[in-house]
Structure 1
Amino acid sequence: MSKVFLSAKLPAATTKILTDHGLTVSVYAGEGLISHAELLKSVVDVDYLITPLSTQVDAAVIDAAPKLKLIANFGAGFNNIDAAYAKTKGIQVTNTPAVSTNSVAEVTVGLMLALSHRIVEGDAQMRTSGFPGWAPLYFLGSEIAGKTLGIVGFGNIGREVARKARALAVNVQYWQPHRLTDPEERSLGVQYVEFADLVQTSDFISINAPQKPDNHHQFSAAVFKEMKATAFLINVGRGPIVDEAALLTALQQGVIGGAALDVYEHEPQVTAGLEKLNNVILTPHIGNATVEARAAMGTIVANNVVLLEQGHNAKFIVNA
């Protein structure tokens, strides 16, 4: 009987799919994230590994699992896995694209609203110094209608962010290495601009791009200096796209207006000092943390195991 190891607890329905198909399932039950040493011990005799993007699956882990056929990543990204090395061992690596699109887009727009209306800052004040009373110039924020949102990374999530933002009367421009066709741009009501122009003209910049070698620290001290002094940066893509030390300095010096981060350069650690700033919102990587999205992700990873077990091809292979 084939064995499946889950390196983190997943929705119950995910495990049920596996056990209903006769697979033996074991789950890491420790506190916090699984350690590299524990993972090495846990994969020795498994046929399938299901792992969240917080677990690093490197060459050592792959070498420790001679029976391994599939690494099913519970997440759209897969930079936590040495997919190229897995391929040399005949191991397929899959991800869970698209199903978290709506959830991440909702969080992105939610962070735009929270920043512009100072919602988190206001909540903190109510819990500490309190509300001194309504006054015409008290605790002013700004509306997002009529503002310009620049989206960096215009895949499924970026496009859904654009749709939702346009419904709130926000002007949307985007940049990515490959421009959409004119009919696609017109259907979404968006405008393509070069990266430098997006940085200089956007009131909000949303990072919705995957992590790649060429976008490490794409948002640097030099880029922050080119942004509007009132602009807000939102990162729901990948942490290392932003130089967090440079971001901290820019925020402390008033170079930009504020930031909201759902992902972090050294995740799960947060650059010290960011948590002290009242123009910063920090959330614990909750972009796709909804019952609906996680259930759909679980169905994909479980079904991919079942497909391989039954002699079929898995879906969403990233190292074919």
Structure 2
Amino acid sequence: MTDLNTSHLSAPQDQSMTQHNKKKVVIFSQIYPEFEEKLRQEFDVVKINPKLGDVNQQIREAVQDAHGMIGAGRLLGEAQLETAQHLEIISTVTVGYDNYDVDYLKSRQIQLAHTPHVLTETTADTAFALLMSAARRIPELDKWTRAGQWQRTVASAQFGMDVHGKTLGIIGLGHIGAAIARRGYYGFNMNIVYHGRREKLETAQQFQAQYLSLEELLKQSDFVVVAVDLNAQTKHLLGSAEFALMKSSAVLVNISRGAVIDEAALIEALQSQQIFAAGLDVFEKEPLQESPLFALDNVVVTPHIGSGTEATRYAMNKLAYENLVLVLNGKPAKYVVK
């Protein structure tokens, strides 16, 4: 009998799979080497390299046949992802997701996974560090002391503000906001007030926290900590009108997203001493390399380091890796943006 070649009759292969039958993953920022190596063992991995030119163009080319993406710090929406034919998931190594066009991803049925909870306590630590540093003028007095200005017993010119027993106003009583409230209530005997889209009675009961309108919170608080997501409703939530409501002795802390605050209005409020001080970990433009803020002694600035400890960043990378692998293996991610 004639040996017929029937290979042309076999079912067509998924063109998005490699010759080794592995799904493709695009790494679009630095992740911990341990998890990059694990991904390379299980998937066909392509890593975006800014040194090779236009990052957006690299992404557009890489995602054409990709099934998953992992990273942080890139704007991802239709302009970058319209060429994607098989993309199932983007796993961001962040809790915030304002860099992603969530509506577009939903329209394409692309899951967006993120890393909440693992950074809650570390970010709350940062918020309180900024609060206390600004209230007690730590960076300013550190510089003053190093400059040889300490020539006699310090007087009122070097005094700061008490923290214990004061009113702490939290805008956004989510996981991070609640962790900040816990530090204030149990650690510093502070009176807790809060504002958000809705009351959170069960959480608030832990700290005997009172729900207030934004206007009343700003009027009553000695310390205001911003811990909300950035979206259309919260962009420039605090501006000139809001700063005018605050006490002249008030300290403002922002560990959420820079654009929640009108930065130009805040600079004016600090320059005119309309409020006492601010502690800022986030800014409208990042990385921030030039700003009138740098000339002000009554502001403490840090480089978006809220979750920046080795243990927490490792946990974030691990969770992002797990979210990605779960979905690519047909299972639900641990945390998906709804």
* TM-score greater than 0.5 by the shorter chain: yes
Displacement after TM superposition at 1:259 (Å): 0.9
After TM superposition, the structure 1 = structure 2 runs for residues 54-133 of structure 1, keeping only pairs within 5 Å, are: 54-133=73-152
Go from structure 1 to structure 2 and tell me whether the alpha carbon gap of 1:294 and 1:47 turns closer, same or farther (over 3 Å shift). Answer: same
**Partners of 1:124 and 1:309 in 2: how far apart?**
51
Matched, 1:9 2:24: no
> In the alignment, which residue of structure 1 is the partner of 2:173?
154
Structure 1 residues 124-166: Cα deviation after superposition (integer angstroms, max 9, x where no partner): 2234454324334452112201111100000000000000111
Query: Partner letter of residue 160 of structure 1?
Result: A
Q: Say if 2:67 and 2:328, in contact at 8 Å, map to a contact too.
A: no
- Tell me how far 1:208 sits from its aligned partner: 0.5
Q: Number of aligned residue pairs: give it.
A: 316
- The residue aligned with 2:255 is 236
Query: Which shifted more, 84-93 or 267-276?
Result: 267-276
Higher deviation after alignment, 120-129 or 237-246:
120-129
> Which amino acid in the other structure matches residue 3 of structure 1?
K
Gaps of 5+ in 2: 1-21
Alpha carbons of 1:119 and 1:34: their partners in 2 closer, same or farther (altered >3 Å)? farther
For residues 1-320 of structure 1, what are the structure 2 equivalents within 5 Å?
1-20=22-41, 22-30=42-50, 35-52=55-72, 54-137=73-156, 139-166=158-185, 167-181=187-201, 183-269=202-288, 272-319=291-338
SS in structure 2 opposite 1:233? Answer: strand
What stretches of structure 1 move > 6 A for 4+ residues in a row? none
Q: Distance in 2 between matches of 1:164 and 1:106?
A: 8
Q: Distance in 2 between matches of 1:184 and 1:276?
A: 39
Cα RMSD (Å) of the superposition? 2.1
1:27 and 1:131 mapped to 2: Cα distance? 52
**TM-score between the two structures when normalised by the length of structure 1:** 0.92
Instruction: Tell me, in whole angstroms, the C-alpha distance in 1 between the residues paired with 2:85 and 2:101.
Output: 16
Q: Identity over aligned residues, as a percent?
A: 30
Contact 1:14/1:295 (8 A) holds in 2: no
Q: TM-score, length-normalised on structure 2?
A: 0.87
Distance of aligned partners of 1:86 and 1:172 in 2 relative to their CA distance in 1, 3 Å threshold: same
**Any conservation in 1 of the 2:65–2:85 contact (CA below 8 Å)?**
yes
C-alpha contact 1:7 1:55 (8 A) present in aligned 2: yes
Structure ID, larger Rg: 2
- Per-residue deviation, residues 165-201 of structure 1 (Å, max 9, x unmatched): 11122221111121122x5422223222221111001
Distance 2:106 2:205 in 1: 40
